[in-house]
Amino acid sequence: MSEAAMKQADSSAAIQLIGMHKWYGDFHVLRDINLTVERGEKIVVCGPSGSGKSTMIRCINRLEEHQQGQIIVDGIELTNDVKKIDEIRREVGMVFQHFNLFPHLTVLENCTLAPIWVRKTPKEEAIETAMKYLERVKIPEQANKYPGQLSGGQQQRVAIARSLCMNPRVMLFDEPTSALDPEMISEVLDTMISLAEEGMTMICVTHEMGFAKTVADRVIFMDAGEVIEQAPPEEFFDNPQSERTKLFLSQILHNA
């Protein structure tokens, strides 16, 4: 606990999870998660399916509720206080596996909705910002189309732009490429890499080990609701310590 208290004092951290636990009913899904993410740090979270990776990052913006321990985002502790939850959600962007674009709004409206309604940005300014980010994800020409008219890769890039329009300090990626056709994965990963190069704080749940090797400062391996191993990518891939990590790596790299 003294170590935890020390970590809490560390105000430079973007995200801190301290002794966090979560249950679904009787099922103990997350067990004693301790994780500190520095500003600008890129973390890749991997692990077998059902290991709690997604649940963990969904706790960070309170899409899931944790029952024990602390989550501190940008100096604000997540509690039941709705105001604090909204404050954190404004600063934390999230990209989902299934994009979750709003199908009844155009690409541009998807990007301007939250800035206009949440940040109260004037409409013209919001459109300008949205176009800037759509250009960055290389699809400004699709701005007036509906999400249903775009390919999966394009939709995911719109989803990234939509999050960026809120100027978040942290981006969470929940398996952003697992629902995509193989030829579209690289366009999304390229967008994420360029985002990482600009110094965004990122936590990515992904199975793209190439991406992990290129951008991650740290790779985190989870299994059965626990963080088993954390290491810089070179160390993680070349010299994994735990047996479970070795088994997992042998399984996924065998196919790669």
Partner 1 sequence: MAIVKTERHPELPPPTTQTGVVGWLRENLFSSWLSSVLTIVAIYVAWQAMSSLISYSFINANFAGVSKEDCTGTGACWVFIKARFGQNMYGFYPEDERWRVNIGYVLGAVGLFLVLSDTMKSKKLPAIFLFGIYPVICYFLFFGGFGLSQVETSEWGGLFLTLVLASVSIFVALPLGIVLALGRRSEMPVVRMICVGFIELVRGVPLISVLFMASVMLPLFMPEGVNFDKLVRALVGMSLFSAAYMAEVVRGGLQAIPKGQLEAANSLGLGYWQSMGLIVLPQALKISIPAIVNTFIGLFKDTTLVSIVGLLDLLSVVKAGTTDKNWLGLATEGYVFVAATFWVFCFGMSRYSIWLENKLHTGHKR
Contact at 8 Å (CB) between 94 and 163? yes
- In the complex, what is the shortest distance from the CB of residue 118 to partner 1, in angstroms, rounded to a whole number? 4
Among 76, 113, 179, 224, binds partner 1 (CB under 8 A): 113
61 or 177: CB nearest partner 1? 61
Contact between 125 and partner 1 (CB under 8 A)? no
**Distance (Å, rounded) from C-alpha 36 to C-alpha 11?**
11
Distance of closest approach, residue 103 Cβ to partner 1, in angstroms: 4
Q: Contact 58/174 with Cβ under 8 angstroms? A: yes
- Of residues 56, 94, 189, 192, which one binds partner 1 by CB under 8 A? 94
| Shortest distance (Å) from residue 250 CB to partner 1 | 33
66 touches partner 1 by CB under 8 A: no
Contact call for residue 101 and partner 1 (CB under 8 A): yes
Q: Which pair of structure tokens corresponds to residue 106?
A: 């155009």
Q: How many residues comprise the chain? A: 256
Q: Of 21, 28, 39, 98, which lies in the binding site for partner 1, with binding defined by CB under 8 A?
A: 98
In the region spanning residues 128 to 157, those forming contacts with partner 1, defined by CB under 8 A, are: 146-149
Query: Would you say 170 or 228 has its CB closer to partner 1?
Result: 170
Q: Is 24 an interacting residue with respect to partner 1 (CB under 8 A)?
A: no
Nearer to partner 1 by C-beta: 162 or 207?
Answer: 162
**Residue 71 touching partner 1 (CB under 8 A):** no
Residue 8 CB, nearest distance to partner 1 (Å)? 25
Among 4, 63, 76, 131, binds partner 1 (CB under 8 A): 63
Binding residue (CB under 8 A) for partner 1 from 67, 68, 117, 242: 117
User: Which residues on adjacent β-strands are paired with residue 203?
Assistant: 43, 172
How many whole angstroms separate alpha carbon 217 and alpha carbon 234?
10
Q: Candidates 66-74, 161-169, 211-219, 245-253 — which segment interacts with partner 1 by CB under 8 A?
A: 161-169
Among 93, 225, 233, 240, binds partner 1 (CB under 8 A): 93
Selected range binding partner 1 among 28-36, 48-56, 100-108, 131-139, rule: CB under 8 A:
100-108
Q: Report the DSSP pairing between strands 226-231 and 218-223.
A: antiparallel
> Contact positions toward partner 1, by CB under 8 A?
61-63, 82, 86, 89-90, 92-94, 96, 98, 100-104, 113-114, 117-118, 146-149, 162-163, 166
